[in-house]
Amino acid sequence: MPPALFAGFWVSDLDAAVAWYSRLLGADPVMRPNDEEAVWEIAEDRFVYVERAPDRAGHSHATVFLDDLDAFLTTAGTAPTTVETYENGVRKAIFRDPDGNEFGVGGRISPR
């Protein structure tokens, strides 16, 4: 079985975080395991979750790498804070949630 992934973000306001991540990911959470967490499945067995932990909020980051970054940027429900381009042909869009957590989305630059 390929490894499953759970990437978590600590947030201060669960309702605000659920609204923001739902816009970014274009979907509502797939589950709410308890009153403190919400979970989105972004690919088979690969999950992003938010957990209410006010004392830790704003200190999380993760990056997902996609085959088509441009398609994601076109459909994302919020604009990236910055987009970086690296010498190795990779771009990374950085999104910041209401607490300042970094959700990065990377992809290779398509040959023209």
Q: Residue 95 sits in a domain of what CATH number?
A: 3.10.180.10
Q: What is the per-residue pLDDT for 27?
A: 96
Name the residue among 33, 55, 31 with its Cα closest to residue 41: 31
Where in the sequence is the domain holding 82, given as residue range(s)? 5-108
Is the pLDDT assigned to residue 112 strictly greater than 60? no
Q: Please write the tens of the pLDDT for every residue from 1-54.
A: 778 899 999 999 999 999 999 999 999 999 999 999 999 999 999 999 999 999
Is the pLDDT assigned to residue 111 strictly greater than 90? no
* Count of domains forming the chain: 1
Is the pLDDT assigned to residue 65 strictly greater than 70? yes
Torsion, Cα of 64, 52, 99, 48 (10° steps): 10
